[in-house]
Amino acid sequence: MNINHWPAEDRPREKLLNKGEQHLTDAELIAILLACGMRGKTALDIARELLAEYGSLRSLLDTPRQHLLQQAGVGQARYATLRAALELGKRYDRKLLPAGELLSSSRQTQSFLAQQLRHYDSEVFACLFMDNHFRVICFEELFYGTINETAVYPRQIAKRALFHNAARIILAHNHPSGNPTPSLADRELTQSIKQALELIDIAVVDHVIVGDPECFSFVEHGEM
């Protein structure tokens, strides 16, 4: 039966409008993005089949483009719609710390850094610059790498810290694998940056590695 012939309370779009998006299943939300079905299948049928194929919403949305486009009912336009919806969600979730805000806890800091870095599928190294009273000056992404490594230059970090007149900084980078455990290279880099910045009287407060779902704080583990 065509989805337009279903009772209003069973149609994903009408259900969203009448009850709110939080009452929709993953398949119903995807069906709204797909907008229409194909011969013999409704948009909801396609959505359910995609979720069954990939096992979860995350796995579905993380599927490489060339693979997803091979699925029945997913063309270029629908793929673009799914990616656009995913990116909107990421941008909505990535709140900014306003300049001058006081960082009052490690958990607050880790939550902010996770929102900024967790969505990347390659390594990104960033710094959170602060004044002497732990008030935020700005957050900057400085170096971009591959899926498992990034070239980081302490000299460039020092230049940016001096540019912002920062007294303290928090180092941060993500592990796309989801495992936030620091490598030997991570530990050596942390000490190298810390020693370089001590020469210009700038304190490295912490180094946070963003995983999924957890983060690793060098300070919390007694490594700073």
Distance separating alpha carbons of residues 84 and 24, to the nearest angstrom: 19
Which residue has tokens 């909505």? 92
Same domain, 75 and 143: no
**pLDDT tens-digit profile of 60-82?**
988 889 999 999 889 999 999 99
Strand, helix or coil at 203? strand
What is the pLDDT at residue 219? 95
Same domain, 88 and 175: no
Q: How confident is the model at residue 205 (pLDDT cuts 50, 70, 90)?
A: very high
Same domain, 80 and 133: no
For every residue of 123-188, DSSP letters joined together read -EEEEEEE-TTSBEEEEEEEEE--SS-----HHHHHHHHHHTT-SEEEEEEE-TTS--PPPHHHHH
Question: Looking at residue 102, what DSSP letter applies?
Answer: B
Same domain, 176 and 202: yes
Write down which residue in 93, 114, 141 finishes a domain. Answer: 93
Q: How confident is the model at residue 120 (pLDDT cuts 50, 70, 90)?
A: confident
Mean pLDDT of the chain: 90
Same domain, 68 and 150: no
Write down which residue in 93, 128, 163 finishes a domain. Answer: 93
Same domain, 24 and 115: no
What is the pLDDT at residue 100? 75
Same domain, 14 and 85: yes
Residue 222 located in a structural domain:
no
Same domain, 140 and 58: no
Range ranked top by mean pLDDT from 80-94, 139-153, 155-169: 155-169
Residue 163 located in a structural domain:
yes
User: What's the average model confidence in pLDDT over 41-53?
Assistant: 93
Number of domains observed in the structure of the chain: 2
**210 Cβ contact list (under 8 Å, min separation 6):** 110, 113, 114, 117, 118, 172, 173, 174, 175, 180
Which residue has tokens 């993005």? 33
Same domain, 89 and 110: no
Q: Which helix (H) or strand (E) holds 115?
A: helix 106-117
Say whether pLDDT at 33 is over 80.
yes
Residue 101 located in a structural domain:
no
Residue 98 located in a structural domain:
no
Helix 43-54 crosses helix 26-34 at what angle (to 10 degrees)?
130
Write down which residue in 67, 93, 119 finishes a domain. Answer: 93
- Type of residue at 176: P
Q: How confident is the model at residue 104 (pLDDT cuts 50, 70, 90)?
A: confident
Q: What is the residue range of 188's domain?
A: 106-217
Same domain, 81 and 178: no
What is the pLDDT at residue 95? 61
Q: How confident is the model at residue 40 (pLDDT cuts 50, 70, 90)?
A: confident
Question: Which is nearest to 5 in space by CA: 52, 44, 49?
Answer: 44
- Picking from 86-90, 121-125, 129-133, which range would have the lowest pLDDT averaged per residue? 86-90
Residue 224 located in a structural domain:
no
CATH number at residue 183: 3.40.140.10
Sheet of 136-144, strand order: 136-144, 124-130, 168-174, 203-210, 215-217
Pairing state of beta strands 203-210 and 168-174? parallel
Residue 55 located in a structural domain:
yes
Same domain, 74 and 112: no
What is the pLDDT at residue 183? 95
Distance separating alpha carbons of residues 106 and 56, to the nearest angstrom: 31
Joined tokens for residue 99: 């300049």
Same domain, 129 and 83: no
